[in-house]
Amino acid sequence: MHAMQCPDAASWIAGLGRDRFDAAIFDMDGLLIDSEPFWQRAEREAFAEVGIAITQDMSRVTAPMTTAQVAAHWFGHRPWRGPSQREMEQRVIGRVAALVTAHGRALPGARETLQACRALGWRVALASNSPLSLCHHTLQALGLRTAFDAIVSADQVECGKPAPDIYHFAARQLQADEARCLVFEDSVPGVRAARLAGMTVIAVPSQDQVFDGGQPAPHWVLPSLSAALAPSAKAGIFPPVERL
């Protein structure tokens, strides 16, 4: 199955309707906020303190990982003396939180898309590989906290994305059937996690994320969340949902 490029991106607001979905689940990093530069800077600064110079290519390798996995990864490759892996993890998280406070902005269309989902009567959750404390901090900083009925982190499940655990847990928190959840994701691992959980997925690719028809693919690929709100698309109708 190949993802559909929907020319009238906002049609989901008018066309999906209450009878197809009961809930919407959003990723955070790369979808609601362009936080990857914050993570890269925080990791460079934190790991430089233990003698590891993180390059752009090195950051790409660890981008899909949780913060704990990043610390374990670099300790495994280049063991350091001094702070524990847990302490390094917390140093990175603290730096990211400070950068979010100072520079974080909701990406265009994020606020409006959340409002549209709530207007349809859907329950709304966040499902992120970021630490739970940072999820709360980021949503508060962006002024989006009240848009969510549940906030779910990889901290709360056995395996983060691309495993489906986090999406199964989010559905339980919302008391929603997985088949009636619509997911918004920006990354290949995130889309895989949601699809393996049996959910319908709209991908809004962040930088370096390419959906090339590999399995499992998103149902639709949109250029941005703001495109999903284009006035010219209000009358559009989504094509039927393709399922595995």
Q: What amino acid is encoded at 26 in this protein? A: F
d(CA 84, CA 170): 31
DSSP E strands, the chain? 4-5, 23-26, 123-128, 150-153, 181-185, 200-203, 220-221
Backbone angles phi, psi at 72, to 5 degrees: -65, -40
d(CA 173, CA 124): 10
d(CA 23, CA 243): 18
All residues at 6 or more sequence positions from 127 whose CB lies less than 8 Å from its CB, including other chains: 25, 26, 27, 152, 166, 167, 169, 170, 183
Pick the catalytic residue from 8, 22, 29, 186. Answer: 29
- Provide the Cα torsion 207, 209, 210, 211; round to 10°: -130
Pick the catalytic residue from 8, 19, 22, 27. Answer: 27
DSSP E strands, 194-237? 200-203, 220-221
CA angle, 156 then 161 then 166, to 5°: 40
29 is catalytic: yes
CA angle, 129 then 192 then 41, to 5°: 35
In three-state form (DSSP H/G/I as H, E/B as E, the rest C), the secondary structure along 168-184 is HHHHHHHCCCHHHEEEE
> Which positions are annotated as active-site residues?
27, 29
